[in-house]
Amino acid sequence: MDTMGSAAMTDTKRSRMDISNAPTSAPGAPPQDADGAAQGARTRADLLHMLAFIESLTTELDTGLSLGATNPFLNMAAHLMRQHLEGKPVTPSSLAAAAGVPYATAVRRVNDMIAAGLIDQRPKTRTGKSFSLHPSARLIDDWTQMSDRVRRLGERSFGGTSDRDTRDYYFGGSYMAGHSIQPPRVLHDPLTLPGGLRILVHGDPTFMVMDNLKRQFEQLIGCKISQRAFSIDRLHDEALRNAERRTSLYDIIAVDLPWIGEFAEKGVLLPLDEVLDTDRLDPGDFHPAGWNATHWRGRPYGVPSQTTPELLFYRRDLFAEAGMEPPTTTDAVLSAAREFHDPTAGRYGIAWNAARGTALGHQFMMIMAAFGQPVLDLPAIAGGFDTRHLHEGGHRPMLDSPGALQAAEYLMELMKYSPPDILSMSWYERVRPYAAGKTAMAYGYTLLVPYFEADPNSPAAATTGYLPHPAGPGGAAVAPVGGYAMGIPANLPPDRRADAAEALIAFTAPEAQKLYVQNGSRTWPRYSVGADPELRRLSQLFDAVDQMSWRDELQFWPRPPVPQIGRLIQICGHELHDMLRGITTPEQALRAAQAACENLMKSDE
């Protein structure tokens, strides 16, 4: 993402969340190079490794000589950090026991650390008479920097580092490493939600990362978490059913960005400015396309938890071997698909969403955008089309336009170079053959990238290039922004809203977003997360999307979030599927879709 957002987080901008259990890199990611390794101990695995070394060294220094003095501050800091990294609670008595000095002395030293701002106390009960103890932001920062210095001192003294590493340490390397997003903090006041926090999400890789990390999240927010996951259509239906209930079953729900207008108009979601100060979200840190897509009538109804543009994935190695340039136009895509299409060898040109209904409807609208045509008659502005007045209504579908016809004919041409099961391919099915090396290209969201980047056996693991949707004649390259926001149901009881808002802030904070990426996600709605040097080393995807951001190619107008968008998508997905099956011509399919969509828009006015 755009590097103008700094990854150095000040105490005033930090979320109150504290998550730090991420591995060094996503499973299957390429190993870090020497420059990457020199950035320092920043992830959970690095910190635990250095923690074990410091604990062992401290034991040797304390016991190696007949005379010696235990350092209770170091021992307690180490204990706090270890328990924190492992998601385990710390009580005052357990911390005192870890000090290695008499209990009375340990209690005084604990109080000294609290007074110095190194320990945060979190009430365990409503009375506030008992507390759990956690490392403060200051202690986390101090420990991380100390770990980095200790590692570098060892390398300088005993080898294992290059001259360049040493130069970087003195001339900027250590400073730049400090701009990584640091392990965040626990909520000072635990959430007090009877029955725990209840979340409704989409069953995609990023939300599954959240589920895998549930234990750590529970430790950090101070209450139990229950998460239900559905496919995209079932998620939409369940959110609407939930809105009809007297009381919401969920404290937070995930919302596909195109649904914002519908859910706002139907009263499914609370406007966030009713339950929290939106400045606490640091809106300027979100990519504008993702942040603006969560607004309706000028008010925010969700916080971006995933900003995932749909891109064209292509095999750089195959293109290089064939002496072909990356395909930046639709004609070039067709030429490349023709070149690599060899069904007798089990290899095909390209995979994409062609399954009937929702999947194909989304795909067609995005392809239309690459031909310069939005699905509604939106006014053109510099860099795209104006979506600021969608709530005023009166829009006309544009499926009878030349751009729509060009997009439909392009899909018909893609059919010639697609796998035999293309008509049943949807979100994940299109990426599987690409990950297996059976197609040379695929249209796909960035959230699907782990399917091949995290698989060392995938031919596409380290050989994939990323492009915005190649431009059709009369159009321009565009990376249609998808993903999910997290919002609060309008029928959530008032006594749960404040805690739900705190959880929402925590789950969408830079620290949490970095954790998701380190555990396999490839979506990041914040500039600071995309600019984090640790994360940028995980995949060239970060730099590719960063460049698209600078070129203003990330846009959400290809699927404008009007209240009727879901039904518009369904109509397109059904009529175009008949076209792909050869039942109707492109002209016939578009005429039928135009008529149905016009009737829909008029009936809703």
The DSSP-derived string for 85-112 is HTT----HHHHHHHT-S-HHHHHHHHHH
| Cβ–Cβ under 8 Å, residues 222 and 191 | yes
Which tokens hold the place of 131?
């507390």
What number is the average pLDDT over the span 385-391?
91
Q: Which residues of 208-234 are buried (b: 16+ CB within 10 A; e: fewer)?
A: bbbeebeebbbbbbbbebebebbebee
What number is the average pLDDT over the span 306-320?
96
- Residue reference for tokens 């990950």: 435
Which of 105-114, 156-165, 254-263 is predicted most confidently? 254-263
Residue 603 confidence (pLDDT) above 90:
no
Distance CA 488, CA 496 (A): 10
Nearest to 535 by CA among 526, 434, 219: 526
Which tokens hold the place of 590?
């578009």
Average pLDDT, rounded, for the chain: 85
Identity of the residue numbered 75? N
Residue 162 confidence (pLDDT) above 50:
no
What number is the average pLDDT over the span 278-306?
92
| Cβ–Cβ under 8 Å, residues 586 and 405 | yes
Class of domain 197-307+483-538: alpha beta
CA–centroid distance for 518 within its chain = 10
24-68 tens-digit pLDDT: 333 333 333 333 333 333 456 667 777 888 877 877 777 777 666
- With bands split at pLDDT 50, 70 and 90, how would you rate the model's confidence at 96? confident
Which tokens hold the place of 222?
């101070």
| Cβ–Cβ under 8 Å, residues 377 and 574 | no
Report the DSSP beta bridge partners of residue 256: 484
Looking at residue 82, its pLDDT comes to 84
> The dihedral of CA 202, 512, 443, 440: what is its sign?
negative
User: Cβ contacts of residue 276 below 8 Å, gap of 6+?
Assistant: 501, 504, 505
Looking at residue 126, its pLDDT comes to 64
Distance CA 58, CA 68 (A): 11
Looking at residue 41, its pLDDT comes to 36
| Cβ–Cβ under 8 Å, residues 330 and 411 | no
Give the Cβ contact number of residue 358 at 10 Å.
22
Distance CA 604, CA 481 (A): 26
In 97-164, the DSSP E strands lie at 119-123, 131-135
User: Cβ contacts of residue 17 below 8 Å, gap of 6+?
Assistant: 184, 185, 186, 187, 220, 221, 505, 506, 507, 509, 511, 512
Class of domain 308-481+564-603: alpha beta
- What radius of gyration do the chain's Cα atoms show? 26
- Residue reference for tokens 């901008």: 13
Looking at residue 39, its pLDDT comes to 36
Distance CA 457, CA 28 (A): 9
Beta pairing class for 225-230 and 464-467? unpaired
Residue 388 confidence (pLDDT) above 60:
yes
Looking at residue 58, its pLDDT comes to 78
Which tokens hold the place of 442?
């695929």
The enclosing H or E element of 220 equals helix 214-221
Q: What is the phi/psi pair of residue 526, to 5°? A: -110, 140
Can you give 476-545 as a three-state secondary structure string?
Answer: CCEEEEECEEEECECCCCHHHHHHHHHHHHHHCCHHHHHHHHHCCCCCCCEHHHHHCHHHHCCCCHHHHH
The more confident residue out of 540 and 122 is: 540
Give pTM, 2 decimals.
Answer: 0.71
137-155 tens-digit pLDDT: 888 888 887 887 787 777 7
Distance CA 38, CA 461 (A): 24
Q: What is the phi/psi pair of residue 62, to 5°? A: -75, -30
Nearest to 150 by CA among 266, 31, 247, 53: 53
Which tokens hold the place of 508?
């969408």
N-to-C CA span, the chain = 39
Residue 370 confidence (pLDDT) above 90:
yes
DSSP for residue 470: P
Domain boundaries defined on the chain = 40-177, 197-307+483-538, 308-481+564-603
Distance CA 218, CA 216 (A): 5
Distance CA 373, CA 385 (A): 9
56-90 tens-digit pLDDT: 787 777 777 766 678 888 999 988 888 887 667 78
Distance CA 488, CA 252 (A): 5
Distance CA 218, CA 557 (A): 37
40-177: in CATH 1.10.10.10: yes
The more confident residue out of 125 and 84 is: 84
Residue 461 confidence (pLDDT) above 60:
yes
Looking at residue 303, its pLDDT comes to 97
- With bands split at pLDDT 50, 70 and 90, how would you rate the model's confidence at 177? very low
Domains 40-177 and 197-307+483-538 share a fold: no
CA–centroid distance for 114 within its chain = 35
